[in-house]
Amino acid sequence: MLDYVVIGGAQAGLSMAYHLKIMGKKFIVLDGEKEVGASWLNRWDSLTLFTPTEYNHLPGLKFEALKGHYPTKFEVANYFKLYVKKFEIPVQINTLVTSVRKTEKGFYVTYKDGEIEAKNIIVATGPFHIPYTPPCHTKLSESILQMHSNYYKGVHQLQGGDTLVVGGGDSGYQILDEISKDKSRTVYFSGDTKVRSIPNKILGKTLWWWFTLTGFLSYNKYSWIGKKISSFTQPIIGTDVNEILSRENVISAGRTKDALNDEIIFEKEKISTIKNVIWATGYRPNFKWIEGLELDADSYPNNYRGVCNIEGLYFIGLPWMYTRGSATLGGVSKDASYLANIISNKN
């Protein structure tokens, strides 16, 4: 029987694996992807972090790049691979966990090809689980190319002709920016056009330098200011929303209301010339595979800093698990250190 099974091999899982290694625990990291870093490699090719190098370190190993550099998805994946190699972290890939069940002795972790028994479980699967696409997408003609942003890699995937990007978050605006740089293509946008955008640099300093100075990323969700911050719509960071929306080939169509065959129905108009739709409409959490777990109103685990209602079951890397940085590459380290102390004191 293992001491721990860590489910998820990205930044949250690797951060916890580092501490388990130091504590001398017998453990394994299970990841459903085909290689370490795949959770980043699966995203679009031009993706870069909106946090500069100096704010992206996992515990025990600096992210080696120039100060002020915004790493690509490839650099992040290579950093993860180096991390696993340096600390000799036991990672088992191609292992998608299908259930976790509590027993008298510990837990049974089930996956396609087998089962592992462990005394404790750390779930580090992150905030992005099931890509969400509005139901009206099923009414569109098969001649229209549709994909969720989770599967978007680049403009080369698209058909010729008008394109629609749905979703006003970071992904939606970054993809809208990339596609609309081709001035010969009309790109419709369906999303929040009044969202706040913040540049990567203010007065010569990176945004994250200011966040660190003001303590913005350290306010916890239980504090008064933390509650206020978490209630606001997250701003778009490092992308000039107004400039993108002002481009001649970008047309804001309002909220997407329905669709039928070749026609997409918006708040402002109906359009039948669209040949591609990118649904940057977010994700839904999925923790139903964990038996007996209490979920909150948003379908995330009820927990306090990773400790939930099931003895021996822990979480790391959830959005706003404690602070705004809890699910970020550079912010997860503090939560991992806290959880490691909980584990150490327990034993």
Distance of CA 57 to the CA centre of its chain: 17
pLDDT of residue 233: 76
- Given a cut of 80, whether residue 98 has pLDDT beyond it is yes
d(CA 38, CA 33): 6
Same fold, 2-129+285-346 and 132-196+233-279: yes
Q: What is the mean pLDDT of residues 274-302?
A: 94
Q: What is the mean pLDDT of residues 179-193?
A: 95
Q: What is the mean pLDDT of residues 294-312?
A: 93
Q: Which CATH superfamily is domain 132-196+233-279 in?
A: FAD/NAD(P)-binding domain (3.50.50.60)
- Given a cut of 90, whether residue 306 has pLDDT beyond it is yes
Per-residue pLDDT band at 208 (split at 50, 70, 90): low
Pick from 284, 10, 8, 298: nearest CA to 131: 284
Which of 156-170, 226-240, 267-281, 288-302 is least confident? 226-240
Q: Which residue has the higher pLDDT, 109 or 235?
A: 109
With tokens 């708040």, the residue in question is 267
Q: What is the mean pLDDT of residues 82-108?
A: 96
> What are the distances in angstroms from CA 139 to CA 142, 144, 241, 308, 337?
9, 11, 30, 41, 48
Q: What is the mean pLDDT of residues 321-346?
A: 88
What's the mean per-residue pLDDT of the chain? 91
d(CA 45, CA 47): 6
pLDDT of residue 291: 95
With tokens 């696993």, the residue in question is 84
d(CA 178, CA 201): 21
- Given a cut of 90, whether residue 237 has pLDDT beyond it is no
- Given a cut of 70, whether residue 317 has pLDDT beyond it is yes
pLDDT of residue 303: 94
Question: Which CATH code is given to the segment(s) 2-129+285-346?
Answer: 3.50.50.60
pLDDT of residue 50: 79
pLDDT of residue 35: 95
pLDDT of residue 255: 93
pLDDT of residue 323: 85
- Given a cut of 80, whether residue 281 has pLDDT beyond it is yes
The pTM for the full model equals 0.91
pLDDT of residue 347: 65
d(CA 269, CA 279): 19
Which of 100-109, 225-234, 256-265, 333-342 is least confident? 225-234
Q: Which tokens is 34 given? A: 């085909």
Which of 25-39, 43-57, 206-220, 287-301 is least confident? 206-220
Per-residue pLDDT band at 324 (split at 50, 70, 90): confident
Q: What is the mean pLDDT of residues 146-168?
A: 95
Grouping H, G, I as helix, E, B as strand and the rest as coil, residue 123 is: strand
Q: Which tokens is 106 given? A: 């510990």
pLDDT of residue 338: 94
The residue ranges of every structural domain in the chain are 2-129+285-346, 132-196+233-279
